[in-house]
Amino acid sequence: MATEVKVPVLGESITEATLGEWLKKPGEAVQADEPIASLETDKVSVEVPSPVAGVMGEWAVKVGDTVEVGAMIATIEAGDGSAAAKPAAAPAAAPAATAGQQAPAQPSSDTPAALSPSVRRAVLETGVDPSNLKGTGKDGRLTKDDVLAAKPAPAPAAAPLPVAPSVAAATGRKEERVRMTRLRQTIAKRLKDAQNTAAMLTTFNDVDMTAVIEARAKYKDLFEKKHGVRLGFMGFFVKAATMALKDIPSVNASIEGDEIVYHDYADISVAVSSPGGLVVPVIRDADQMSVATIEKTIGDFGKRAKDGTLKMDEMKGGTFTISNGGVFGSLMSTPIINPPQAAVLGLHRIDERPVVVNGQVVVRPMMYLALSYDHRLIDGREAVTFLVALKNAIEDPTRILIDL
């Protein structure tokens, strides 16, 4: 008797998703709760587990199809998969392989079920046997980089046969059309909606990073030994931002209809990269956290965004966003607000530049700061005051310690 596999509940207000990848083929053995497919929602990838143990039945939808919550996408047949594991060798009438011929290779049964979607995809693309690899991720789990590093070197290419030249080969002009993922479509829509709705404006300042760099260099080894995480710059900026938000509450507010909602807490959305695009998980109650706890949380978000294992609940809400384009080499930018938030802080790369200090020209590590804000809610004085408060805290980190 076949058991239907249906699209699970995906979260509040999310009614449909796109089938991103099948993780099991028809005829393969499946364990209860083992992921058989990966769905792409507006925010994250979600794995669909098998409700029972058995054999993977027929697929009801194709990769790229849109499916609604509760819709059937496949069936699980009764059995243990032993008969399906050797479809080519079972029939008695099948002729023996002749000399110089080999039977088709069977799919490896050693692939761990716990692999994330991005790691499974890398395994399929490279042909690497994951059972022979040592994982470098948390609790020894395999990462995409582990699989790519074990990819065998390609064999020397044989000399191509002469063919008639095509127009594309002659001109070197090629095109590739790739359908936008649901995540990329949502990002595009939300960012354009933000431009169309908010009266968006950006103000700039720069900050001398000398004190933070010196503190990091002095304490990074002790910090990592005690807390098990590297001391970066984001911990300082998140903590400094939460202090500035208390001083200028309108930057931490939002507009709902004809009302302004002020928040007495700071849930900081931190923009991180994922294989499908930029995602913004939320550090809840960041104003109550230590720098060490903030660094641990950001590190965990970054790793799970790369593996595609962030949860949708972790990306809901947020009262203020910090986007660090400096890790990619950005000198200056005008970040776009993440609705319904009223402001977003953009960080950039650190460059040594000549500045005047106490009447003397000196070289200092400087960073440009950009605050994009909704002018319907935040006026210029408040935006500039926020950036100055942030600048003061970073240039004198003692202010963060004594909440000044």
pLDDT of the residue at 102: 45
Architecture (CATH level 2) of domain 200-402:
2-Layer Sandwich (3.30)
Q: Give start-end residues of each CATH 2.40.50.100 domain in the chain.
A: 1-85
Contacting residues for 82 by C-beta, under 8 A, at least 6 apart: 29
> What's residue 65's pLDDT?
84
pLDDT tens sequence for the chain (404 residues) = 788 888 888 766 677 888 888 888 888 888 888 888 888 876 677 888 888 988 988 898 888 888 888 888 888 888 765 544 444 334 444 444 444 444 444 444 454 445 666 677 677 677 777 777 877 776 677 777 777 788 776 655 555 555 555 555 566 788 888 877 776 777 777 778 888 888 899 999 999 999 999 999 999 999 999 999 999 999 999 999 999 999 999 999 999 888 999 999 999 999 887 776 678 899 999 999 999 999 999 999 988 888 878 887 888 889 999 999 988 899 999 999 988 899 999 999 999 999 999 999 999 999 999 999 999 999 999 999 999 999 999 999 988 887 76
Bridge partners, 207 (sequence order): 367
Q: What's the pLDDT at 153? A: 64
CA-wise closest residue to 246 among 264, 223, 228, 219: 264
pLDDT score, position 248: 95
> How confident is the model at residue 164, as a pLDDT?
56
Question: Which of 327, 234, 243, 245 lies closest to 281 in space, CA to CA?
Answer: 234
Tokens linked to 149: 């590093």
Query: Which pTM was predicted?
Result: 0.62
**Marked catalytic residue, from 110, 285, 379, 403:** 379
Count Cβ neighbours within 10 Å for each residue of 200-230 and write b for 16 or more, e otherwise: bebbebbbbbeebeebbeeeeeebeeeeebe
**According to CATH, where is 3.30.559.10 located in the chain?**
200-402
Active-site pick, 33, 80, 221, 375: 375
| 263 has catalytic annotation | no
Q: Which of 325, 279, 270 shows the shortest CA–CA distance to 299?
A: 270
Assign domain 1-85 one CATH number from 1.10.275.10, 3.30.1490.20, 1.10.132.20, 2.40.50.100. Answer: 2.40.50.100
Inter-axis angle of helices 117-126 and 291-307, to 10 degrees? 40
Q: CB within 8 A of 20, min separation 6: which ones? A: 38, 39, 40, 45, 63, 117, 181
Contact 325, 333 (CB under 8 A): yes
Q: What's the rounded Cα separation, in Å, for the pair 313 and 300?
A: 15
